[in-house]
Structure 1
Amino acid sequence: MRLRTALLATTLLAAAPAAAMAQPVDGLYVSLGGGYNLEQSTKAHFSPTSFADGTPGGSGSTFRFNYGFTGEASLGYGLGNGLRVELEGLYIQDHTNHRHFTPVPGTTTGHDERYGPMVNVLYDLDLAQFGLPLPVTPYVGIGAGYLWTHLSPFNTDYNNGFNNRIGGTEGAAAYQGIAGVAFNIVQVPGLALTAEYRFIGTLPQNTGSAFQSTAYTNSGIHKGNADFNNSYNHEVMLGLRYAFQTAPPPPPPAPVVQAPAPAPARTYLVFFDWDKSNLTGRAREIIAQAAQASTRVQTTRIEVNGYTDNSAAHPGPRGEKYNMGLSIRRANSVKAELIRDGVPDSAIDTQGFGETHPLVPTGPDTREPQNRRVEIILH
């Protein structure tokens, strides 16, 4: 038993994505349905008589029914928010099998038919809003209209050999309540299988002349009229519904692809002798490595920044200005070597910073080899 429960749960969960793809009915749709109908007992009043033994007028009988069937065809429009409005053609048929409260026992046969238009307002419940992604869509609705009733006919054969027949056609206002569920067939967008219960009632048909009662007795023929009380019907129906303008299911969300983090800048250091801007052999090797690296990776910009230490060939403010120029000459020397190694001129930005931004902090007027440098930064 537990295995069956687990399999059922798995099936529902597997079908849940299909239900999630179903959209509210938006636009024109049609439906067809049919099923079983059960009519409650109905009382009739007769004038002047319904009994073959000549009982005075004002008598009444109760008719009971044993089985019947029903069918419907609808044309509707969905508003896209769960509400639907439809025009329906309804047909009901039931067979009578018993007649109560007659002076003489007898057997009753025959059937009644009801048919006519109904206007329904329905609302689809979105279970996903309640955290229940099930592959079904429940709905409820109410309707009102007009149904004609035709007796075909009710025939009673009494045990004393007499007979009574009731036939005719008359219409009355009708109403109904609907509770159903739709299963969306995802293989055919817009198509749904429906199952529903309906309660249908018609108002009394007290016309006084619509239904004719004819009794055949040994004293002749007795004719009169029959008036019926409210009729109540219970229906269980299966059907198909097709929506013409069903939107295609939304595509699954695109996978989130994070942009790759930018590669860190690569830095190469070229060092210089004191008060010099010419390149040493080791400096040319480092510059060549930087040039080759710029072709192997996606380089968008190359910075060439020159620096000096805080000692100078000329003391004071004049020395700071001198060092600024020296840092620029060093940067230009490195740029020229990069160009000779195949790096485009347009890809290189040069700048001199003089004594600022030392690599190694020192006291004033200190010769520090690591501060006499050019930084090649590959972005």
Structure 2
Amino acid sequence: MRLRSTLLATALIAAAPVAASQASTITGPYVDLGGGYNLMQDQHGHFSNGTLEGGQTGSRARLRHKDGFTGRGAVGWGFGNGLRAEVEGVYNYSQINHLRATSAPGSTSGSTQEYGGLINVLYDIDLTQFGINVPVTPYVGVGAGYLWQHFNPVQTNFANGVVNRIGGTNGGFAYQGIVGAAYDIPGVPGLAVTADYRMMGTTFTDGSFRSTSYGPMGKIAGNANFDHAFRHQFNVGIRYAFDTAPPPPPPAPVVVPPAPTPARTYLVFFDWDKSVLTSRAREIVAQAAQASTHVQTTRIEVNGYTDNSAAHPGARGEKYNMGLSIRRADSVKAELVRDGVPANAIDIHGYGEAHPLVPTGPNTREPQNRRVEIILH
């Protein structure tokens, strides 16, 4: 069975498009229809009251089956984790062409029909967990239920002139093992072609079949009991899942965050009416000078500002503040040069009271407006 399943999976993979996606997992309801070849093993029979050959009490024989077929239909539910449960209806047909080990030779013809239902539990094997990304899903399962067998009847003509007929319907416990694979149809979500092997067994214990012989001694009626019956079934089918979960998306690529870039704008603050750098201001200027060597910098802009208070009020105060802003910018430029920045790479500007960082009323001392901006371009 393992070899057959491997060959089946290989054939389906070869037929799949190169860019086929992985198989899907069933979540929710589905229906399944299929059928195929039914090969039934010999049935061992026990005949009472001399009904087999018209006079031999307690005789035994085996019915040999030939060709047959099987059909099935199922409705089920997928739990989204590979596990499925379904209710299945089954019909089997098998020809009978020989009655073995009888004292008198004879020829046998007839057939048997079987019908019933089983409850199956199956598990879909996700191949992606093994690194295989194809639209094929192997599955295994077991089932149990009840099956009736009906003889149509089966007639044996013996060389001694006795004719035996077996007929009737009897039922019993049925069970099966399942190994197969499903191939997802590209472009049709939920639709799949299935192929599997099933070994089905039954035990008929709820009664006896009829066995009647006709011959020189007249009609002899009795019973025939058969032990376990085994079938080997090779099926193909079509399955449709109404709500198929899509395959999980591929893992997102790992994005390495870019290394943080040094700040390109630095603020240096001054005391009121002063253009002398404080110790903290010198630290900030040193940071700007260092950053200019690590980022692509073509020029450095140094802009000086004041708040709108003034040691000299009126228009004279505005002029005074303009000059104070330039002196502050010159102080920063001089410190940048001391820190290794070429003087010709530095442009200075004074804007006086214009462009305050914090809007204020007139003649207000605001520390954040008494500043110099160092901008790396």
Which of 334, 345, 348 is 1:374 aligned to?
348
Q: CA 1:98 to 1:331, structure 2 compared with 1: closer, same or farther past 3 Å?
A: farther
Post-superposition shift, 1:102?
Answer: 1.3
- Report the equivalent of 1:215: 213
Alpha-carbon contact 1:185-1:191 (below 8 Å) kept = yes
2:179 and 2:194 map into 1 onto residues whose CA distance is: 11
**Residues 328, 222 of structure 1: alpha-carbon distance in 2 compared, 3 angstrom cutoff:** farther
Which 5+ residue runs of structure 2 have no aligned equivalent?
A: 1-9, 266-299, 306-317, 350-373
TM-score by length of 1: 0.68
CA deviation string 1:230-259 (max 9, x = no partner): 000000000000000124566788999999
Q: Secondary structure at the match of 1:213?
A: strand
Aligned residue runs from structure 1 range 176-191, under 5 A: 176-191=176-191
- Paired residues for 1:289-368 under 5 Å: 304-306=302-304, 329=322, 332=325, 352=329, 354=331, 358-361=335-338
Q: Measured at CA, do residues 371 and 17 of structure 1 come closer, stay the same or move farther in structure 2, by a change above 3 Å?
A: closer
Contact 1:16 1:134 in 2 (8 A): no
Counterpart Cα distance in 1 of 2:19 and 2:158: 63
2:216 is aligned with what amino acid?
A: N
Q: Secondary structure at the match of 1:81?
A: coil
Distance 1:74 1:373, change over 3 A: closer
Q: Aligned pair in 2 of structure 1 residues 356, 198: CA closer, same or farther (>3 Å)?
A: same
C-alpha distance in 1, partners of 2:248/2:17? 16
Q: Which residue of 1 aligns with 2:26?
A: 25
Given that 1:360 and 1:371 are in contact with CA atoms closer than 8 Å, whether structure 2 keeps it comes out as: no
Give CA deviations for 1:85-104 in whole Å, capped at 9, x if unaligned: 00000111111111112121
Aligned partner of 2:193 in structure 1 is 193
Identity %: 49
1:225 aligns with 2:188: no
Aligned to 1:360, the other structure's residue is in SS state: helix
Aligned twin of 1:34:
35
> CA separation in 2, counterparts of 1:192 and 1:239?
9
Q: Could you say if the C-alpha distance between residues 165 and 353 of structure 1 is closer, same or farther in structure 2, counting changes exceeding 3 Å?
A: farther
The DSSP-based 3-state class of the residue aligned with 2:238 is: strand
What is the rounded CA distance, in whole Å, between the counterparts of 2:86 and 2:197 in structure 1? 17
**TM-score if structure 2 supplies the norm length?**
0.68
Query: What corresponds to 2:117 in structure 1?
Result: 117
Q: Structure 2 CA distance, aligned partners of 1:50 and 1:153?
A: 15
Q: Is the 8 A contact 2:85 2:119 kept in 1?
A: yes
Letter matched to residue 374 of structure 1:
I
- The letter for the 1-side match of 2:162 is F
CA offsets 1:275-302 (integer angstroms, 9 cap, x no match): xxxxxxxxxxxxxxxxxxxxxxxxxxx9
> How far apart in 2 are the matches of 1:199 and 1:357?
94
Deviation at 1:203, TM superposition (A): 1.4
Paired residues of 1:197 and 1:235 also in contact (CA < 8 A): yes
Task: Give 5+ residue unaligned stretches, structure 1.
Answer: 1-7, 268-301, 308-324, 335-350, 363-367
Contact 1:206-1:227 at 8 Å conserved across structures: no
SS at the partner of 2:336?
A: coil
- Residue pair 2:29, 2:77 contacting (<8 A) in 1 also: yes
CA 1:249 to 1:24, structure 2 compared with 1: closer, same or farther past 3 Å?
closer
SS at 1:128 equivalent: helix
Task: Decide whether the 8 Å contact of 1:306 with 1:327 is kept in 2.
Answer: no
Q: Given that residues 54 and 220 in structure 2 are in contact (C-alpha distance below 8 angstroms), is that contact kept between their aligned partners in structure 1?
A: no
- 3-state secondary structure, aligned to 1:189: coil
Closer, same or farther: CA 332–35 of 1 in aligned 2, 3 Å:
same
Distance in 2, matches of 1:246 and 1:157, equals 56
